[in-house]
Structure 1
C-alpha cells in the first residue's frame, strides 16, 4: 500500500507543482496543495467493478499522464516564451526545441534526451496503472462515496472562502487547451478580415534620397533584462565621433523568448503577427509589406539570415529580391555553439557580398544571432581587415564553458546573456562607424529573452535605435517620441506593428 500512495504523492506534486514553479508574474495568487482530481478519480474508480474498472484504471492513468505532460509543457512555455501554452500553435515548436538542443549540445545528447523522455513517460504510465490498481481494486463503495463527499464539500467551502488548499490543475489544463482551439478558430476568422481590410499605403520614400536602409534585429536584445549592457553608454560617443547620430525608443514586441520571425513579420507587415497561424495566413494572402513599399520606390531588397540552415520558402513568399541564408553565406569558420557564424562576420559578409555589388539603393533585413541562447561562447571582436572568409574565428572554436554549464547556473546565464548583448551591439556599432556612410541603420531587439534569464515574465518591450548622419532625419524621429542617444526610455511608445507606418511617414 505504501508504494501506490508514494506514487500518488509524486503525481500530486507533479500536478500542483506547476503553479509553484512558474516564473514571477505568472503564478496565481492562490497556490494549491492538493490536486482534487486525484481523490475524485480514485473514488470514481472504486465505484466501478470488473472490466469497467480495469479499463477505467488504464484510461485514468494515461489521462493523468497527459495532465502531467500538459503541466510541464505549460512550465516550458512560461519559462521559455513568457506566455501560456497553446497547443494549437505550439506543437510544431517541438522540432525547434530539438534543433536547439542539437545545435547546443550535439546529436548524441539530443537523441539520449528524447529516448530517455519517451522511456520515462512509458514507465511512469505503467507504474501509475499498477499504483491505481493497488489502491482502488477492492475499494469499498462506502469509502468511495465518503471521499467524494469530503472533497466535494471542501471544494465547495473553498470556492466560497477563496482559500487555495485544493486545485484542479489537470482540469484547468484541459479547459485552457480546449479554449485555445476555440480562440484559434475565432482569431483565424478575425485575422482573415483584417487582411482583407489591410490597405496598401502610398509612400514614395523621397526623404531618403535613395540612401540604403538596413534593418538589423539583435536576437533577444532587451536592455532591461540585461541590466545596462557593459559599455553601452560609450556607444553614443563613438557614433558621434564618427559623425553619426542615434535616437532611441522602446516598442512592444508581439512575442518574448523566441519565435523571432513573428516579430520580424509584425515589423514588416504593420500587423500584429503573434502566432504561427497568423504568420502563415499573412504569407498565404500575399499581402504587401515594407519590402514591397521599398521595391515600389526603386529599391533592391535582401534578407541576410545566417540562422536559416534549411529550406526557407517564406523568402519567396515575402518577395525579397535576394535571400542569403546560412547555406549561401560563404563562411569558412567554425560554428560557435548554436550560432552558425558570429555577428561580426555577418556584417562583413553583408558589406562585401550584398551591399557593395548592388548599384540600386538597398533595403536589407539582417537577423543577427550571436546573442541567441545558449549564449556560449561569447567571443571578442576581430580586426575587420582580418576577417576574410572567417577562418580567423577558429581561435574561438572551443572557447567558453559548455551550454550545460551556463544554463545550469542562474548567475552565469545572466552574465553570459549580458556579454552576448555587449558583443552584438558593439559589432553593429563598429560596422556602422566604418561602413554605414550615408545609409540609415535601424538596430533593434526582436523580443526580450526568456524568463530563464532573470526569473520574471518579460515586459515584451525592446529598444529600437535609428542611426544616421542625417540630423534632420533623426529630428523627425524625435518628434515622434524617440530620445537622443542609445539608452532606451523605460516606457514603450508603441507596438511593433506601428513601426511600418512610422517609417513610411518619416521616410
Structure 2
C-alpha cells in the first residue's frame, strides 16, 4: 500500500471511529470516550468480510450512511439537551428546527442565521456522505488483505466481549461501546411511545370535569373583579434559588412586595412544575390554562383543536367578563385565540410600538403593559375584564435587557433606542454561561418590576393578578438536571380573594418558600376553578 493510500485508509478509520463514538449528551464528551471499542465496527467488519466483493462495497456504503445518520441524531440530542433539557423526538421536533432558525434571525441577524443554516445543512450531509465513503474505503482495504483483516476482527471481537463481560471502564465509560445500537433502540422506543401517546391523550382531553358546567356556575366568587393572568418568560425556580442569580431577583421580589403592601395588596405564592423546559413556552401556557399535561407539539395540536374549557375560556363562558390577550411575542396569525376564549388579541403589531427590539423580545414589558392599560384596562366598560398577558423581556439570550423608565415618558417606545444601543449584544452573552446567568437574573428583575409597578400604579380594589413563569431557563443557566418548577403568585387587595386559597398552604408574599407546595402545572386550572366557587359538571369536548 502506498503512503497516500495508507494515509487515506487511516483517515477513513479515524472518521468512522469518531462517528461511532459520538455521544448524545455533552457531559459524556470526556477523554475516556476515545478509549472505547465500538461494537458496531467489529460486527460490520465481520459481515463485510463474508460478502462477495461487489456486494461488500454497496453494503459498506449503506452501513456507513446509517451510522452517519445516527450520529446526526446524537448531535441533535446534545443540542436539545443543552437548550430544552431533553432528547430529540424524531416524530415531533422537526418543526422546532424552523423555530430555532427564526430565533437566530431575531437575535443574531440575517447574516449569522444564513451561515448557521448552511452549516446545519452541510454538517448532516457531511456526516452521512463522509461516513459512507469512509466505510467503502475501509471495505476495500478488508478485501485486499483478508487474512490480516480476519485476524484483526477476531482480536477486536475478543477484546470487546471480554471488556463487556467484565464491565471494564475507563474514565467512567465502558470500554465495550455500542452507541449506534443504543441510539437506534432509544429512538425506536420514542417513536412507539409518541404514536401511542397521541391516541391516549386524545381520549384524556375529551374528559373534562368542568366540561358541562354552565357559565352561571363558573367563578362566582370572582364576579366583579378584573382578573389578569400574566406569564413571565423563563421565570423559573433557578431565579430565586441559584446562588449566582437569586440575590438580585429575591431583593427585587422583596422590594416590590413591600411597595405593593404599602398600596394595600397582599400575595400568596407557590410552585408549579412546568410541562416544558428551556423553551416552547406555548406548552406551558396551554398546560396551565387547559388543565392537561401538554408537553409536546402533538398534544398541543390535539388540545387546541378541541373544545376543552380553558381557564381563560371559563371567564368568557360566564358572559360576565370581557376577555383580552396581550401577546407581544406573536408575529403571525394565531388561530388559538378561539380555543383560549379571548375576545380580542393584541399581537406584536397591535400595540403601537415604534422602538427597537431587545434580543428576541419585540418590545419591553413595561411598554406592553402601558399599551394594555391605554388600549383596554382603562376603558369604560359595563363588565369587568379578564386578561392574559405574555411578558417577553426575559426571553433568551437576555441581551440587551431593557431598563425601567418613567411611565409617563413611554410614548411610542422610541425612547428605548438609547437603552437598546447601550445594552449588551446577544453575541456577547450567548456563549458565556456566567454572563448569561447574570443577564438572565437582570431580565427577571426587570419583568417582575414592570408587572408589579403596573399593578401598583393602575390596579384597583377589584384587581386580581395571577402571575407565573412558563418554564425554567435553558440548561446553560440552570445547570444539569434541574427541576422544572416555576413560581406562581396570586395578588389582590380584597382579603376574600386570598382567603379562598388559604387551604393551598402557599407562602405569604411574592417569594414562594422552599417548602411551599409543588403542583403539576396541569393541576392549577381545576384547583383555581374550585377555589372560586365553580361547580364541577363532567362533560366531553
Q: Normalised by the size of structure 2, how large is the TM-score?
A: 0.87
SS at match of 1:246: strand
C-alpha spacing 1:5/1:453, structure 2 compared with 1 (3 Å): farther
Q: Deviations over 1:158-217 (max 9, x none)?
A: 454444112222222222221112111211121122123223264432222310111111
* Distance in 1 separating the partners of 2:443 and 2:20: 36
Match of 1:333 in 2: 355
The answer (yes or no) to whether the contact 2:313–2:339 under 8 Å persists in 1 is no
* Distance in 2 separating the partners of 1:39 and 1:5: 17
SS at match of 2:325: strand
C-alpha spacing 1:147/1:322, structure 2 compared with 1 (3 Å): farther
Match of 1:195 in 2: 205
Match of 1:16 in 2: 21
C-alpha spacing 1:190/1:47, structure 2 compared with 1 (3 Å): same
The answer (yes or no) to whether the contact 1:336–1:396 under 8 Å persists in 2 is no
Match of 1:253 in 2: 274
The answer (yes or no) to whether the contact 2:260–2:266 under 8 Å persists in 1 is yes
For residues 2-151 of structure 1, what are the structure 2 equivalents within 5 Å?
2-19=7-24, 21-22=26-27, 33-139=36-142, 140-146=145-151, 149-151=154-156
The answer (yes or no) to whether the contact 2:312–2:388 under 8 Å persists in 1 is no
1:312 and 2:334 correspond = yes
The answer (yes or no) to whether the contact 1:442–1:464 under 8 Å persists in 2 is yes
- Deviation of 1:146 after TM superposition, in Å, equals 4.4
Match of 2:477 in 1: 453
The answer (yes or no) to whether the contact 1:300–1:363 under 8 Å persists in 2 is yes
- Deviation of 1:14 after TM superposition, in Å, equals 4.9
Match of 1:349 in 2: 371
1:421 and 2:421 correspond = no
Match of 1:185 in 2: 195
- Structure 1 stretch displaced more, 50-59 or 364-373: 50-59
- Deviation of 1:126 after TM superposition, in Å, equals 4.0
Match of 1:493 in 2: 518
1:378 and 2:381 correspond = no
- Deviation of 1:107 after TM superposition, in Å, equals 1.2
- Deviation of 1:99 after TM superposition, in Å, equals 0.4
Determine which structure has more spread, i.e. the larger CA radius of gyration.
Answer: 2
C-alpha spacing 1:33/1:209, structure 2 compared with 1 (3 Å): same
Counterpart pick for 1:412 among 403, 426, 435: 435
SS at match of 1:328: coil
C-alpha spacing 1:400/1:152, structure 2 compared with 1 (3 Å): same
1:227 and 2:246 correspond = yes
C-alpha spacing 1:8/1:309, structure 2 compared with 1 (3 Å): farther
- Structure 1 stretch displaced more, 311-320 or 493-502: 311-320
* Distance in 2 separating the partners of 1:232 and 1:287: 35
The answer (yes or no) to whether the contact 1:256–1:449 under 8 Å persists in 2 is yes
- Deviation of 1:245 after TM superposition, in Å, equals 0.9
- Deviation of 1:157 after TM superposition, in Å, equals 4.1
Q: Deviations over 1:228-269 (max 9, x none)?
A: 415322222111112111111011111111111111111111
SS at match of 2:91: helix
SS at match of 1:88: coil
* Distance in 2 separating the partners of 1:68 and 1:392: 49
* Distance in 1 separating the partners of 2:223 and 2:123: 62
Match of 2:263 in 1: 242
- Structure 1 stretch displaced more, 137-146 or 273-282: 137-146
Q: Normalised by the size of structure 1, how large is the TM-score?
A: 0.93
The answer (yes or no) to whether the contact 2:472–2:486 under 8 Å persists in 1 is yes
SS at match of 1:273: coil
* Distance in 1 separating the partners of 2:425 and 2:414: 22
* Distance in 2 separating the partners of 1:254 and 1:32: 38
Give the alignment's Cα RMSD to 1 decimal.
2.5
C-alpha spacing 1:244/1:14, structure 2 compared with 1 (3 Å): farther
The answer (yes or no) to whether the contact 1:47–1:141 under 8 Å persists in 2 is no
The answer (yes or no) to whether the contact 1:33–1:165 under 8 Å persists in 2 is yes
1:205 and 2:251 correspond = no
Q: Deviations over 1:46-75 (max 9, x none)?
A: 433333222223212221221111011000
Match of 1:166 in 2: 176
- Deviation of 1:320 after TM superposition, in Å, equals 1.5
- Deviation of 1:430 after TM superposition, in Å, equals 0.8
The answer (yes or no) to whether the contact 2:316–2:341 under 8 Å persists in 1 is no
The answer (yes or no) to whether the contact 1:375–1:417 under 8 Å persists in 2 is yes
* Distance in 2 separating the partners of 1:170 and 1:426: 49
SS at match of 1:231: helix
SS at match of 1:132: helix
SS at match of 1:282: helix
